[in-house]
Amino acid sequence: MDVDWGPLWLTMQLAGVTVIVLLLVGTPVAWWLAFTKSRIRTMVEAIVALPIVLPPTVLGFYLLVALGPHGAIGGFWKELTGSSLSFTFTGLVIASSFYSLPFVVQPLHGAFESVGKMPLEAAWSLRASKFDAFLTVASPMAIRGFLSAIVLGFAHTLGEFGVVLMVGGNIPGVTKVLSIAIYDHVEVLEYTQAHILSAVLLLLCFAILTIVYTVNRRLPIHVS
């Protein structure tokens, strides 16, 4: 019996790259949400939370349009690089980043909010610049938020199905991720392969979450 492990590897890559992108984009957004007094804050919060409630096919449909050669993102990309975004790995990363955005931003937002302004003011008074204070005070204090963000973002991207199907199609080695591979196996009644891949995904997610909860408990952060 042959099990194609390609989709598993691709899924891992996709989840990994997506988490990195989301940390770079989501951290400033979460920071802004935690500390701004701007009136558009609630609107931004709602936009960030949209992917949680939106059916993946709806999100996927809009992303398909946007990433296409005539779409806002895809058109820009085509002008920049000359190649299309639809049905590519890069396109998948962009789509997954939208899809998993709330799972990274929300834990960080909560963590930054609970750190609050007080330790930051203390750091500034000790000659730390704003960025220095973010790196050396806010980030270590929000370490559990970062951990949750990384894990939830990663795990949520692992399980992505609808959006990938809409945006990425099903190209082996390029956009064929684990969840789609499982779906394919079931379609053609290859239950053994479907079982194996499903079990791998299940165990993987369970293991990640167990490790996270264990580490989270032992992290040396104490707030008096």
Is 118 a binding residue for another protein by CB under 8 A? The answer is yes
Is 76 a binding residue for another protein by CB under 8 A? The answer is no
Binders of another protein in range 23-52 (CB under 8 A): none
Is 132 a binding residue for another protein by CB under 8 A? The answer is yes
Give min distance, CB of 18 to another protein, in A: 28
Stretch that binds another protein, among 17-25, 43-51, 85-93, 138-146 (CB under 8 A): 138-146
- Residue 70: phi and psi, rounded to 5, are -105, 0
Residue 191 DSSP SS3: helix
Is 137 a binding residue for another protein by CB under 8 A? The answer is yes
Is 123 a binding residue for another protein by CB under 8 A? The answer is yes
Residue 129 DSSP SS3: coil
To which residue do tokens 């996709």 refer?
A: 14
Give min distance, CB of 34 to another protein, in A: 18
- Give me the amino acid identity at 112: F
Residues in Cβ contact with 208 at an 8 Å cutoff, skipping those fewer than 6 apart:
151, 154, 155
User: 171 with 87: CB under 8 angstroms?
Assistant: yes
- Give me the amino acid identity at 206: F
C-alpha–C-alpha distance, residues 197 and 204, integer Å = 10
Is 126 a binding residue for another protein by CB under 8 A? The answer is yes
Binding site for another protein (CB under 8 A): 118-119, 121-130, 132, 136-137, 140-141, 143, 220-224
